[in-house]
Amino acid sequence: MDQVRKNIALLAICQALMMTCNSLVIATSALVGLALASDKWMATLPLGLQFLSTMSFTLPASLFMKRLGRRVGFQLGALLGLGGAVLCTYAIFTRSFVGFCGGALLIGAFNAFAQYYRFAAADTATSQFRSKAISLVLAGGVIAAFTGPNLANWTRAVFDTALFSGSYACLIALYAASALVSSFIEIPPPTEAERREAGRPLSDIVRGPEFVVAVLSAMIAYGVMNLLMTSTPLAMQHNGHSFGSTAFVIQWHVLGMFAPSFVTGHLIRRLGLLNVMLAGSVLLGVCAGVNLLGVSVVHFWLALLLLGMGWNFLFTGATTLLTQIYTAAEKAKVQGVNDLLVFATVTLSAMSSGALHHSIGWAAVNLAVTPVIVLSLLANGWLRWQRMQSVRGFVRDK
């Protein structure tokens, strides 16, 4: 158990470093894009390309780690992120939008590997401790709430001639630290049987109601969260708020994403997995409602805090549900397909957020996510009904 705790602590630190980088990028990327791009609608394109890269690498990253293990994969990912930070910093100095997009692609590749920190925690924990292990690793992101946006704010004008170049230079050190910390993770490499055994056909697994609801819920959690989050800096700038206020709002959003993780695992065991996921969907809906009520800093702050909390409950619940449906031999392909679909949604939301905000406005963006949130509520109810039918069928068979 001591080794399990050590691994979870190291994975939580890696999660904290990743989310520090991500929150810094989220707070600044659209604004850097706006300054470098030839057309305003392209402002969120670099962030969209980052998520496109994450989507493209999720399945290969999972299969790579099935062959060579988690630690090697995490270190390779950190080196890709390091290269991306160097390229982004250079691109800001040279005012190259194309170079900034290239750096975003490398950062996205790092994120593809880093998304498996939570699954690595599940790998190393017992079944009873699994939901808590996942939530504790995600809790590492609490540090990012304070470090990422503030770091962006403190370093944005270090080099007067290249705004935010200092912020991206900081990423170089953070990705190097991630490579170092991940070198101490000790998760046994895959056995020869796990490398070779395929398990059930993927077509059989994806037809199960648990898989459908787990993946759909994760897609909605991340897609809604990302669309509103990446649009927020643009909406705040449009309404005359300072970058300091934007950093403050993003800080509380990231805090909302990860602070609940200290209790989410406990809530899942006490209240039930589907009830926690239901609460997450409701919080996402309340967030959209708050955004429609006004555009003051207080409205942005409260909405993004609720958005983070809703994401935490729904996404942690979806991840826990997914870990219940595969064997050791099946986990690489199931996890990979899950994250491929999740980040396809994230990519679409990131690449469209700037264009949507520019063309239809902030209020319409919030109205657009409402049907998707309703879909997550319907999926939750459908799985409850499926489980009730299974129990009744079992009782009749008895």
Domain edges within the chain: 2-397
Return the pLDDT at 175.
96
Helices and strands of the chain, counted as H and E runs:
18, 0
CA distances from 149 to 93, 216, 287, 379 (A): 21, 30, 21, 34
Residue pointed to by tokens 């491929």: 340
For the record, the structure tokens of 124 come out as 């190393």
Question: Which pLDDT score is estimated for 162?
Answer: 67
Could you give the CA distance from residue 183 to residue 71 in angstroms, rounded to a whole number?
6
Are the CB atoms for 268 and 276 separated by under 8 Å?
yes
What does the alpha-carbon distance between residue 23 and residue 13 come to, in Å, rounded to a whole number?
A: 15
pLDDT at site 393: 59
Residue 262, judged by CB atoms within 10 A of its CB (0-12, 13-18, 19+), counts as middle
Regions in the chain scoring below 50 on pLDDT:
394-395, 397-398
- Residue 215's contacts (CB-CB under 8 Å, 6 or more residues apart) are 318, 322, 337, 338, 341, 342
Architecture of domain 2-397: Up-down Bundle (1.20)
pLDDT tens per residue, range 124-159 = 776 667 777 888 887 777 877 778 777 877 877 777
Contacts 24+ apart (CB under 8 A), 279-282: 279/310, 279/313, 280/221, 280/309, 280/310, 280/311, 280/312, 280/313, 280/314, 280/315, 280/317, 281/217, 281/220, 281/310, 281/314, 281/373, 281/376, 281/377, 281/380, 282/310, 282/377
pLDDT, residue 394, reads: 47
Q: What letter would DSSP give residue 241?
A: -
Which burial class, exposed, middle or buried, applies to 193 when counting CB atoms under 10 A from its CB (0-12, 13-18, 19+)?
Answer: exposed
Give dist(CA 217, CA 99) in Å, integer: 34
How high is the pLDDT of residue 392? 64
Angle, alpha carbons 390-391-392 (nearest 5°): 90
Which pLDDT tens digit goes with each residue over 276-306? Answer: 999 999 999 999 999 999 999 999 999 999 9
pLDDT of residue 326: 85
pTM, to two decimals: 0.77
Distance CA 15, CA 150 (A): 18
